[in-house]
Structure 1
């Protein structure tokens, strides 16, 4: 049984990890907590932007001398290699840490092996603490890229009860409620990239920025990616300087995936045809469907041309989570292939 203090420390580490998601690539957004010898929190750290210290080093710096004889709780196995910064395993050893808990092993063959180094130094190591929360949480996209070599793509859409993303006249503001829209802006502030098609830009002129509840721009803005061969006007809001923008003149999903290789956490917000293309290519790793208590009876379907012509070819997903967000229901689904 895990001690209450360790469980609390893990939650602090998860929160620290989530707070830097979207800012650390190509490094993972790790969170770390140092407990002193009496089990009290002495330091909390999260991965700095590239070139800066890793989570363990920042947590050790916050803890200072209180780290000696203490415990480290980390969301990812401490790294075991020297890159732009030194190995975190050695930093923990030098600080006099006696026990290390970590959630998931580092799958990178260059950086992995930190647990063995810690054990060789006489440190007690406990793997697997809160692994499910980390796998489905802040490290999800980074671990996916390590495993598959490509970004993790979440398709997000809002729809009526009858599966419409717009009414018969093309209007879609607003199908989902204000709480759902606020949730999406919070999510955008932790992403690496947002993808839409030229059709969405021409029809809606979206800004694709992450905004705070007061309407101000969030400190972190994801890369805005526009896909398609149609020209978009230079006055389009997505081309302003509020956030970086990449225009990809292609309809090839694999070309888009390749162009986003350095952006592990990608949100697909495009229209029904772009969503269908990603689904048909097998490049949707999660669906976040905001279903509003609204009936439209006609209008644009949420997805088109997903490569399905018969029920036997249906793209099947399994439920990961169901939440209520204001008046809406948020379904988080993952492909059955990933079961």
Structure 2
């Protein structure tokens, strides 16, 4: 048990967690740049904040330093990703801006895997006399999941969403799946759609449901993701077709991909170990043999129980009306 009291000042990890939550405002509008959050703190008081703006500019640090002005001198900078060190026609390198602003400390969540910056940004800050450290903490890593996955694995961060009955069915035998879950769960799904650049379904789901795959939350309609179809057929108008799950790496400008099914599509992504986050919406209904339900997953490639264990970690659980939502992260 921690001995820290509620009156102790926030730690570096606390401030970084706050910066990571702020970074959520940038997702996914900052694409193709990562969504970064940044805070300036002086005497345990927040004096400025910033996050990557739509289209990727200004960067989080640039916006934050612009609002802080001379107040940045002597403060502590918390930023979820190493300040960039490469020149761009769209703006100066953030490491140069930070060095010029003269904060006393810089606490960085993650080193930038981009070879143009990796290590060079923090080195530039240290040469300017700024005490700099990298936390490599879970909060900043989670906030940058799409960017880090794209940089390290060459593909988007994939979230697989499944809406299931208590007995693990996603549809009736005729393919009917609207609606297994209730209104609150569906609104939650639309909120997650708005946080992804692209959304993918399989050919059978497309043919049986003709899903709109858009965002139907008032005020967020323009955040509807790009539509992707996993199929060997001809691409419908306004839809991008890929033939295999491993082709998601070729989807330009996509850091976050939302996969909505159906069963064979979900199984194929799991079999290829391409799922990074699993979202389960469980409705308090039983479909059972009497209605000839379709199971949530086909063959996933698991060789046995030993390989199935320790692959997923519970990340979140909440009640959405009568339905239960659970999120799991892939343990790698």
TM-score (norm 2): 0.87
2:221 maps to which of 209, 218, 221 = 218
Query: Is 1:295 paired with 2:295?
Result: no
Q: How many residues align?
A: 319
1:72-130 Cα shifts (integer Å, max 9, x gaps): 1111121222133322111111112111112121122211222222112111123217x
Query: Is 1:254 paired with 2:246?
Result: yes
In structure 1, the residue matched to 2:323 is 328
2:210 maps to which of 200, 205, 209 = 205
Secondary structure of 1:119's aligned partner: helix
Taking only aligned residues, the RMSD between alpha carbons, in angstroms, comes to: 2.5
1:250-292 Cα shifts (integer Å, max 9, x gaps): 532223x133143111011121111122222222222111122
Identify unmatched segments of 5+ residues in structure 1.
Answer: 240-244
In structure 2, the residue matched to 1:25 is 31
Q: 1:60 to 1:323 in 2, by over 3 A?
A: same
State the alpha-carbon separation in 2 of the partners of residues 119 and 315 from structure 1.
45
Q: Could you tell me how far 1:29 is from its partner in structure 2?
A: 0.4
In structure 2, the residue matched to 1:69 is 74
Query: Is 1:117 paired with 2:155?
Result: no
State the alpha-carbon separation in 2 of the partners of residues 285 and 14 from structure 1.
19
Query: Is 1:151 paired with 2:156?
Result: yes
Query: Is 1:13 paired with 2:19?
Result: yes
State the alpha-carbon separation in 1 of the partners of residues 11 and 101 from structure 2.
20
In structure 2, the residue matched to 1:93 is 99
State the alpha-carbon separation in 1 of the partners of residues 307 and 282 from structure 2.
20
Q: 1:148 to 1:230 in 2, by over 3 A?
A: closer
Is contact 1:20–1:190 with CA below 8 Å preserved after alignment?
no
Q: 1:12 to 1:61 in 2, by over 3 A?
A: farther
Is contact 2:82–2:108 with CA below 8 Å preserved after alignment?
yes
Q: 1:300 to 1:314 in 2, by over 3 A?
A: farther
Q: Could you tell me how far 1:210 is from its partner in structure 2?
A: 1.7
Secondary structure of 2:113's aligned partner: coil
State the alpha-carbon separation in 2 of the partners of residues 218 and 7 from structure 1.
35
1:185 maps to which of 181, 190, 193 = 190
Q: Could you tell me how far 1:48 is from its partner in structure 2?
A: 2.0
Q: 1:156 to 1:110 in 2, by over 3 A?
A: same
Larger displacement relative to structure 2 (113-122 or 1-10): 1-10
2:268 maps to which of 269, 277, 280 = 277
Q: 1:5 to 1:218 in 2, by over 3 A?
A: farther
Q: 1:277 to 1:51 in 2, by over 3 A?
A: closer
In structure 2, the residue matched to 1:242 is none
Query: Is 1:195 paired with 2:188?
Result: no
Identify unmatched segments of 5+ residues in structure 2.
Answer: none
Query: Is 1:126 paired with 2:118?
Result: no
Q: 1:8 to 1:211 in 2, by over 3 A?
A: farther
State the alpha-carbon separation in 2 of the partners of residues 205 and 335 from structure 1.
30
Query: Is 1:102 paired with 2:108?
Result: yes
